[in-house]
Amino acid sequence: MSRNYFTLRCGDQHEKIPYDELQYLEVMNDHILLHLQEKRLATMETLDWIMSQLPMSAFLRVHQWFVVSYRHITQLGEDHLMIGNVRIPVGQQALSSLTAAMAGKVTES
């Protein structure tokens, strides 16, 4: 049975991170910020480690500094996407994957 969350060390505590609540990850200078629906968490874990915990069918690295959840994307532009009112830059390599994924999302609705 597959889990719908992963556990992440944040400081001296371990946090349960449900995949469906995780909107995007943002790489900062010395830590990673996880933006969830109701809160933000900071961790010293590496981006590679966090990405290894995520279902790749639901998340995509769209820029050097950002990983997003497909389900939380509200708008896709030529060089950015929106998650709510947050504008996130999108690299050219990720744009075609996002366009295809968003087309599938619209078709399935």
pLDDT at 105: 60
Q: pLDDT tens for residues 13-69?
A: 999 999 999 999 999 999 999 999 999 999 999 999 999 999 988 999 999 999 999
Q: Which residues contact 23 (CB under 8 A, 6 or more apart)?
A: 35, 36, 37, 68, 69, 72, 83, 84
- CATH topology for 5-108 is OB fold (Dihydrolipoamide Acetyltransferase, E2P) (2.40.50)
Q: pLDDT tens for residues 54-108?
A: 998 899 999 999 999 999 999 988 899 999 999 999 988 888 878 777 776 644 4
pLDDT at 97: 78
Q: Tokens representing 4? A: 């719908």
The ranges assigned to domains in the chain are 5-108
- Buried b / exposed e along 47-83 (16+ C-beta atoms within 10 A): eeebeeebeeeebbbbbeebbbbeebbeebeeeebeb
